[in-house]
């Protein structure tokens, strides 16, 4: 069995055992992703560039796992294949950020 499917199955089992699907509309799942993302960011708050890699890996793990969990649940709700949608996005980004213009600069595509 593929690993991703196993993870999705565990997430859904966890959710269903607690009868939580009633709370998991798309809007609230999106909000949950955003709240977990803020918790990840809090690990880096007030850090200077040269301290940005000193954050405890255990904390990064936890917050990233939360972001991924809610992202997977939102993908599953809409029957999205997380790998396909990323591959498609990379392709679209290739058009927005052609190598010759985007190389070495962090500018947004509309400023290139």
Identify residues 93-112 at the interface with a second copy (CB under 8 A). Answer: 93-94, 97, 99, 102-104, 106
Per-residue x/- track, 73-92, a second copy (CB under 8 A): -xx--x-x-xx-xxxxxx-x
Structure tokens belonging to residue 105? 């600069």
Verify binding: residue 72, a second copy, rule CB under 8 A. yes
Total chain residues near a second copy (CB under 8 A): 73
Contacting a second copy (CB under 8 A), which of 1, 57, 59, 96?
57
Verify binding: residue 21, a second copy, rule CB under 8 A. no
The Cα–Cα gap between 94 and 72 comes to: 25
Q: Which residues, 6+ apart, have CB-to-CB distance to 89 below 8 Å?
A: none
How does DSSP classify residue 57? H
Count of CB atoms situated within 10 Å of the CB of 24: 16
Q: Map the footprint of a second copy across residues 28-47, applying CB under 8 A.
A: 28, 30-35, 37-47
- State in Å, rounded, how far the first CA of the chain is from the last one: 44
Closest CB 63 distance from a second copy, rounded Å = 8
* Owner of token pair 């990379």: 90
Contacting a second copy (CB under 8 A), which of 1, 19, 95, 111?
19
């Amino acid at each position: 069995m593929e690993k991703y499917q196993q993870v999705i199955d565990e997430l859904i089992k966890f959710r269903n055992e607690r009868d939580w699907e009633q709370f998991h509309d798309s809007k609230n799942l999106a909000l949950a992703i955003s709240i977990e993302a803020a918790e990840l960011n809090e690990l880096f708050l007030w850090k200077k560039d040269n301290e940005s890699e000193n954050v405890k890996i255990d904390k990064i793990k936890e917050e990233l796992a939360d972001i991924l969990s809610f992202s997977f649940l939102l993908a599953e709700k809409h029957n999205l294949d997380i790998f396909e949608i990323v591959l498609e996005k990379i392709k679209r980004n290739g058009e927005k950020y052609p190598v010759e213009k985007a190389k070495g600069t962090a500018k947004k595509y509309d400023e290139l």
